[in-house]
Amino acid sequence: MHDYAFFLGCIAPNRYPGCEAAAIKTSKKLGIDLLPLEGASCCPAPGAFGSIDLSIWYAMAARNLVLAEKMKKDIALLCNGCYKSIWEVNHKLKQHDELRDKVNEVLKVIDMEFKGTIDVWHLIELYSDPKIVGVEKVRESVTRPLTGTRVAVHYGCHLLKPKKERHFGDTENPMWIEELVGALGAEPVQYRKKMQCCGAGGGVRGYDIAHSLDITNEKLINLHEAKVDALTEVCPFCQLQFDRGQIEIKEKFGKYWGLPVLHFNELLGLAQGMSPTDLALDLHGVDCTPFLNKIL
C-alpha cells in the first residue's frame, strides 16, 4: 500500500463531495491510502493569488507543504489548480535558495520551516504510473464496466504545462488519460480543440463570466458534434465550469446542452461499483441520469 497526504483543495469538498469520497475509496482499491492532511488551507488558487501577490501565494502553498513534511508523506491531490500551486511552489523552493529563505522568513512567524523533503503528485498520474498503479491494475479493479458509453476527456491547463517542468510527454494531443478511460470499459472519444481551456482559468470566470462561458460553450459545441455521452476531467474547477456552466449558459444564452460531467474519480467509482448516491451525483448541476442509464 502506498500512503500519501491527501490535499483536498476547496471545490471538491465544498461543491462536489463525491470527488472526495470517490478518490479515497477507489484509490484504496488500487493500493493507495489517502491520509487526511490536517490543517490544510486553500492551495492557494494560482489564477487569483498568484496573479495578485506572489509572496502570499508562495507562503500559503509552502505552509501546506510543511504540513505534509511533518507527516513524512508525499502529497496526492485531485485538482489541476492545486497541482499547479503545490507542485510548482515545491519545485521552485527546492531549486532556488534565496526564494526558499524568503519564504521561510514568513513561515518562521508560525514556527514552520520548508525543508523540501517531499514530492507532489496528481492522483491521475499515480493511476497512470505502472510503478504505482498502471492501466492494467485500474482495469482489474473494474466490477461494472462502462461498456457502451462514449466518454471525452478534458485534461485542463495546469496539469500538463509548462511542458519543460512536467514529465507527461505530448502536451498537444495527450492520450494517456484516454487509456485509463478505456480501462474502465468506456470508448474514449476525440473531439475538436480538445486542449482548449475550459474557460474558467486565470481568473476569467470571476472577472468576465460572459467571455468565460463563451469559451465553455465552444467546447460543448465540439463535444456535441462528437456525440459523446459524458465528459470526464481531473479538476473540480474545470468540472464546475462545465457542469454549473451549462446552467449559466442556458440562463445567459438560452442554449442547454445537458451533457453529464464527471471527475475521473467519479467515473472510476462508478466502474468500481459505487452508487450514484455514494458519489453525490445528485449535487451535479447537469443530470447524470442519461449516462447512468447506459451502465446501471
140's CB contacts (< 8 A; 6+ apart) are: none
Dist. CA 182–CA 53, nearest whole Å? 41
**CA 283: distance to chain centroid?**
18
CB distance 230 to 259 below 8 Å: yes
Fold of the 2-123 domain = Glutathione S-transferase Yfyf (Class Pi); Chain A, domain 2 (1.20.1050)
State residue 1's pLDDT score: 87
- Which residue do the cell numbers 475509496 mark? 25
Angle (CA) 207-197-169 rounded to 5° is 140
φ/ψ (deg, to 5) at 233? -145, 175
* Ramachandran assignment for 210, one of left (phi > 0), alpha (psi -120 to 50 degrees), beta (any other): alpha
State residue 50's pLDDT score: 60
On the CB side of 227, CA atoms within 13 Å amount to: 2
Tell me whether the omega of the peptide bond preceding residue 162 falls within 30 degrees of 0, making it cis.
Answer: yes
Q: How far from 68 is each of 10, 131, 151, CA to CA, in Å?
A: 17, 22, 35
Domain boundaries, the chain: 2-123, 141-295
For the chain, residues with pLDDT lower than 50 are none
Dist. CA 41–CA 225, nearest whole Å? 40
114's CB contacts (< 8 A; 6+ apart) are: 62, 65, 66, 69, 93, 100, 103, 104, 107
Q: How far from 280 is each of 63, 70, 141, 158, 276, CA to CA, in Å?
A: 31, 32, 21, 26, 6
Compute how many other C-beta atoms are within 10 angstroms of the C-beta atom of residue 28.
12
Q: Is the domain 141-295 a CATH 1.10.599.10 member? A: no
Residue 281 in 3-state DSSP?
Answer: helix
pTM of the predicted model over 0.85: yes
φ/ψ (deg, to 5) at 48? -95, -70
C-alpha cell at 145: 464496466
Same fold? 2-123, 141-295: no
Q: How far from 33 is each of 7, 38, 125, 126, 238, CA to CA, in Å?
A: 13, 15, 15, 12, 25
State residue 40's pLDDT score: 96
φ/ψ (deg, to 5) at 35? -100, 140
